[in-house]
Structure 1
Amino acid sequence: MSKKNALVVGVTGISGSNVADHLLANGFTVFGLARRPPQDRKGVTPVAADLMDPASIAKAVAGLDISHVYFCTWARQDTEDENCRVNGAMLRNLLDAVTQTSKPDHVALVTGLKHYLGPFESYGKVKPDTPFREDQARLPYQNFYYVQEDILYEAAAQHGFAWSVHRPHTLIGWALGNAMNMGVTLAVYAAICKETGRKLLFPGTPQQHEAVTDVTDARILARQLVWASTTPSAFNQAFNIVNGDVFRWRRLWATIGAHLGVEVETYPGHPTPLEQQMAGMDATWDAIVTKYGLQSYKLSTLASWWHSDADLGRELETFTDMTKSREFGFLDLQVTERSFTDLFDRLRAEKIIPPASAG
């Protein structure tokens, strides 16, 4: 590997931000692409582009000699047909532009477990066997993950680069303003509960409360992405990526409550979605920010009630097999409790949520 010039697409998101950090720690030159990339991100050269505008991307990557691409973004649409059209075009436009000016060695694509569960509008209609394995057949529904994979395979064959596909479960880690970050959402939820005298009520289904499940720390995803893109024996493969342990929410919920200093409510045996519990809490959050001198983020920027409700509202068992990844040589393990507690500690240190002594 002669060059180590990485383009991280979606550098402001939870997966992109963490992979950028890991690439920098491993000696890469990192270019961070987003519509509005941060200008003050240490070590990351900002690249501004709209992935739906081919001319915008071509201008942005002109002159960059990119060896590794990490595609870590998506745009949610109202229907899966639109998801396929838009997210497929985003990846195709990016690859077309990069391969015009560079000869990348490797392109990594981040998707997720909807590969096995189906898109939101067909979610769980077919109940796949668990744990999910990479060799399971595609489901008989439209799915933008499948569209993106096929675009990746076609471009790799045409331009001669290696590829990898990474399928995380729910991502836990440091990122603000991300629509899919359950860890930050639960931390904000707990802060509101504590301040208003509520108990921490698990919002999901009995199946999620009781069943074995898993999650993906954004840091272990980043490590797998860089490993797969720099290990020739792992080229041209799809890999699941989760922490490597399993848990039940009924136990982890108590750990979360204890670490955030809020009493846990007895589970009532039915869902009580966060969107319902937290309706009308914007002014309450603003008051918490003022009271504790927190950074002035709006509630809607930090908390993604709908996404956490979707994850915790599943009515089917969901966990993932990591055997293939281990057989290929990726042996990392992340303890899930620490995924949450490390994040909560950083959120306190960065003044995103109140200090431990609050309340």
Structure 2
Amino acid sequence: MSSAIVVGATGILGREIVKQLAQTPEKWKKIYAFSRSKKDEFPSNVVHRHIDLLSSADAMAKELQGVEAEYVFFAAYLQKDSEEENWQVNGDMLHNFLRALELTSAIAQTKRILLVTGAKQYGVHLGQPKNPLRETDPWLTANPPFPPNFYYRQQDILRAFCAAHRHLAWTVTYPNDVIGFATGNFMNLATGLGLYAVVSKELQLAEAGRAGRAGETFEPEPELAFPGSETFYTRFDTFTSSRLHARFCEWAVAEPRAANQAFNVVNGDVQSWQDMWPRLARRFGMRVPRDQFAGGGGGAAELASQAELASHAALNDTPPLSVFAEEAGLVGRVRPSALEQRVSLVKWSQRDDVKKAWARLAEREGLQMDAFEKATWAFIDFVLGRNYDIVSSMSKAREAGWTGYEDTWKSFSDVFGELEAANVLPKTH
């Protein structure tokens, strides 16, 4: 039987790691779930403890008194306004936590430390990367042209720490565009997409009702136009189910071939919005306008034609692909990437009619009123607005023995169900 510490236990990825381990109490005798606050109910074999990762190592050591575990999962993350701040804060959190394990002597019992990072490893937030993303791709450490990447600092900290404690091994995961749910955590791709759909539908049904009362004809089926980049609509992306990621983490810490290795962790399929957007529309009782990119159709397509809702932003002057340009024969062919929102959901979410539609829907359906304002609309804009592909290779994990797979659309659909059960979305399905 094994024991575990999960740090960041109320986040989308940390929560699922706790749930995954807790399913087999005969295997995991003790699970410590650490977070700043308790926003979720944990299984009976999980012990929740408070921790402030912004505090010093000495302060954290006091909170870790009496806690020992063979496996540590570090899934905590704090978003700051600049990459320099991200580098400092997230690096310090990991460094001080590991030092606290030394101060309590708990580290003597630990066998493996797993660090959760992400596809920012490859600079996907800066523009077009080389596809597919492979774990052997060089780090983008030149500054300039690339900003600091706090994942690099965290991995350096972890490797040095394990080298100083020779009995320790490490594993790092690189998920991308995570699909999951955590109570009170609205930094969630599925949440934003679901809210966009149901509020768009509410707006159109209200307008149809007004037209019907006036004796006018109207389109009976609400429409859901893609708000992001027309280019990206037919490009490819790879997603990570938080449940699949949790299963990977449990497998990896016990797998000798995963020791001292970093792995991409995505579902195993490659998806595009041209396939999933019609499914999303149907999921919420809507359809995609036939001419959505021509600006015709109703609902969001009409909104898209309004210039004040559109947005275009250039990304880093030097995209990550430039590092490979000479080797790949692409010198002079690599251009800066951009975010292209036909409807910026940041702007859309601030419209008075949109806010009123949400308030009306939330009151009528008994939904969590603050879900809309807490949704991370900028994150959704980024995911949908990119004008380039992101495809993560799973070859390394497969070669190490990992066989997990999850269908991406099913991941979305399942999380929509969770959001409905939690009264974040109306029960439409």
TM-score by length of 1: 0.92
Q: Deviations over 1:261-293 (max 9, x none)?
A: 123244327622211222234443232121012
Q: Is the 8 A contact 1:32 1:45 kept in 2?
A: yes
- Confirm or deny that 1:185 pairs with 2:185: no
Matches within 5 A, 1:1-359: 4-27=2-25, 28=28, 29-38=30-39, 40-43=41-44, 44-54=46-56, 55-101=58-104, 102=106, 103=108, 104-117=110-123, 120=125, 123-124=126-127, 127-139=128-140, 140=142, 141=146, 142-160=148-166, 161-178=168-185, 180-197=187-204, 199-265=223-289, 266-268=291-293, 271=341, 272-280=343-351, 281-301=354-374, 303-356=375-428
Deviation by residue 1:172-219 (Cα, 9 ceiling, x = unmatched)? 012244353101111111111111116322121123211121111001
SS of residue matched to 1:166 = strand
Letter in 2 for 1:267: Q
- Classify 1:293/1:178 alpha carbon distance in 2 versus 1 (closer, same or farther; 3 Å): closer
Shift in alpha-carbon separation, 1:49–1:106, aligned structure 2, 3 A: same
CA contact (8 A) 2:119 2:175 kept: yes
Spell out, residue by residue over 1:298-330, the C-alpha distance to the aligned partner (whole angstroms, 9 max, x if none). 3123x2111111111212211110000000011
Aligned amino acid, residue 61 of structure 1: L
Letter of the 1:347 partner, please give it: L
Output the CA distance in 2 between the equivalents of 1:351 and 1:62.
38
Further displaced range: 222-231 or 204-213: 204-213
Query: For the Cα contact (< 8 Å) 1:9–1:72, is it kept in 2?
Result: yes
- State the Cα distance separating 1:61 from its structure 2 match: 0.9
For residue 345 of structure 1, report the CA deviation from its aligned partner.
Answer: 1.8
Gaps of 5+ in 1: none
SS for the counterpart of 1:109 is strand
Paired residue secondary structure (2:293): coil
Distance 1:214 1:235 in 2: 25
**CA distance in 2 between partners of 1:149 and 1:242 (Å):** 20
CA RMSD of aligned residues (A): 1.8
Q: Secondary structure at the match of 1:70?
A: strand
Distance 1:128 1:15, change over 3 A: same
1:103-153 per-residue CA deviation (whole Å, 9 max, x = no partner) reads: 2111111111111125x5xx12xx431010000000133100000000000
Number of residues paired by the alignment? 349
* Segment drifting more, 323-332 vs 66-75: 66-75
- Name the amino acid aligned to 2:18: A
Provide the C-alpha distance between the structure 1 equivalents of 2:65 and 2:356, rounded to a whole number of angstroms.
45
Contact kept? 2:40, 2:183, Cα under 8 Å: no
> Structure 2 CA distance, aligned partners of 1:203 and 1:60?
45
Q: Deviations over 1:244-271 (max 9, x none)?
A: 0011111200001101212324432762
Separation in structure 1 between the aligned mates of residue 421 and residue 405 of structure 2, nearest angstrom: 25
Q: Partner amino acid for 2:114?
A: A
Question: Could you tell me whether the CA contact under 8 Å between 2:186 and 2:376 is conserved in 1?
Answer: yes
User: What TM-score, normalized by structure 2, do the two folds share?
Assistant: 0.77
Of 232-241 and 259-268, deviating more is: 259-268
Change (3 A) 1:304 1:176: farther
